[in-house]
Amino acid sequence: MSTNADFDLFRTSEDHEALREAVRAVAEDKIAPYAAAVDAEARYPQEAHDALVASDFFAPHVPEEYDGVGADALATCIVIEEVARVDASASLIPAVNKLGSLPVILDGSDEVKARYLPPLAKGETTFSYGLSEREAGSDTASMRCRARQDGDGWVLSGQKSWITNAGVSEYYTVLAVTDPDGPRGGNVTAFVVEKSDEGFTFGEKERKLGIKGSPTRELHFDNVRLPGDRIVGQVGDGLKIALRTLDHTRVTIGAQAVGIAQGALDQALAYVKERKQFGKRIADFQGIQFMLADMAMELEAARQMVYVAAAKSERGDKDLTFFGAAAKCYASDVAMKVTTDAVQLLGGAGYTSDFPLERMMRDAKITQIYEGTNQVQRLVMARQLLK
């Protein structure tokens, strides 16, 4: 027998929708006006950073006991979605704050949590995540970055590639091999590395197709000494922690993709109602209407999938691995398609930087690549199906 409570399972709560309104207001007023300049100048979105700190949308996932606002997984997705709707680069601030700090939240000791989470919650620093290496992208277990035990502490050497907010963040969760002769995947440990640690430097900023406001740099470790209390979780558990983190944070990349696609659809809808050709609004052509309907339909399917995955992330459901990969993969493919179609709907104007659509199309592409490419997401899903 169905009850009203059953139906409530299929809609977001009033609190979640009030949150969306609040984030949208901040995004429209304080982030959107700078998005084109941030992209053109390939500069850090400092205005967005400051607005996110001031509104408590900077690292909303941090639990209340560590001075955060303790947003649930769906609320965090809504924050990222609404920021991405106007500026994908800026949405990487809350997204990567969760990615970098989630290993600490999931597996850090009480001391590590108490040291590193409050400064993040207060907006004093961003938190980055160092897993990928030049020669170990999809194949993370083949990483070479090495931490050698030295007395009570560790000495870190090697490099990490493609690290978001590198140079901006004070804190980095870094994965390194601690037992070179140990079993593949079971020989890696997670550490927190601080920007001020001696021997820790950064590569040049990558020049990218999109998300140009989000700095991406290499991390270089030249015999960086880490005290023993920098370990996150147990020695040898690093890769497990890193992959479990991604199960949760792939959902947030799905949310980012949904936001980018929604931003593009909103822009396209406004344009087709104004633009006239052959004596009519182009919105009155059925060929255009069918495109709009497909864009909205696929976008809504992606959003529902992300929200279901977010609920699974919050509850820690066993099938999160499948749903996190599916939500990220599906939503990012939809974002690429919707932004490409949105450019098409504006014709020549869509191809110019007078409108934000070409930026949104460039920004959408990264969602198919990072936190595991969409080929890797399909491998993850297939592994779950076949096990």
- Residues at the contact surface with ligand FAD, assessed by CB under 6 A: 96, 128-132, 137-138, 162-164, 208, 211, 216, 366, 369-373, 375-376, 379
| Structural tokens at position 185 | 């995947």
Shortest Å distance, C-beta 140 to ligand FAD: 8
* 88 neighbors 211 (Cβ within 8 angstroms): yes
Tell me whether residue 219 or residue 258 sits nearer to ligand FAD (CB atom). Answer: 219
Shortest Å distance, C-beta 332 to ligand FAD: 12
28 as an active site residue: the answer is: no
Nearest to 241, CA basis, from 227, 228, 231, 254:
231
Is 147 strand, coil or helix?
A: strand
Tell me whether residue 111 or residue 204 sits nearer to ligand FAD (CB atom). Answer: 204
Please report, for residues 131, 179, 180, 234, the alpha-carbon distance to residue 186 in angstroms, rounded to integers and kept in the order given: 15, 8, 10, 11
Tell me whether residue 163 or residue 261 sits nearer to ligand FAD (CB atom). Answer: 163
Catalytic residue among 81, 298, 358, 371: 371
Tell me whether residue 35 or residue 291 sits nearer to ligand FAD (CB atom). Answer: 35
Q: What is the DSSP string of 56-95?
A: T-SSTTS-GGGTS----HHHHHHHHHHHHTT-HHHHHHHH
Q: Which residues pair with 148 in a beta bridge?
A: 155
Q: What string of H, E and C letters represents the secondary structure of 1-22?
A: CCCHHHHHCCCCCHHHHHHHHH
Tell me whether residue 162 or residue 330 sits nearer to ligand FAD (CB atom). Answer: 162
Shortest Å distance, C-beta 263 to ligand FAD: 19
Shortest Å distance, C-beta 370 to ligand FAD: 4
Cα separation, 104 vs 127, in Å, equals 11
Give the DSSP H/E element, type plus range, for residue 198.
Answer: none
Shortest Å distance, C-beta 245 to ligand FAD: 10
Name the residue number minimizing CB distance to ligand FAD. 137
Tell me whether residue 108 or residue 130 sits nearer to ligand FAD (CB atom). Answer: 130
Shortest Å distance, C-beta 368 to ligand FAD: 9
Q: 122 Cβ partners below 8 Å, 6+ apart?
A: 67
Q: What is the DSSP string of 120-137?
A: HHTTS--EEEE--BTTBS
Cα separation, 258 vs 239, in Å, equals 28
Return the active site residues. 371
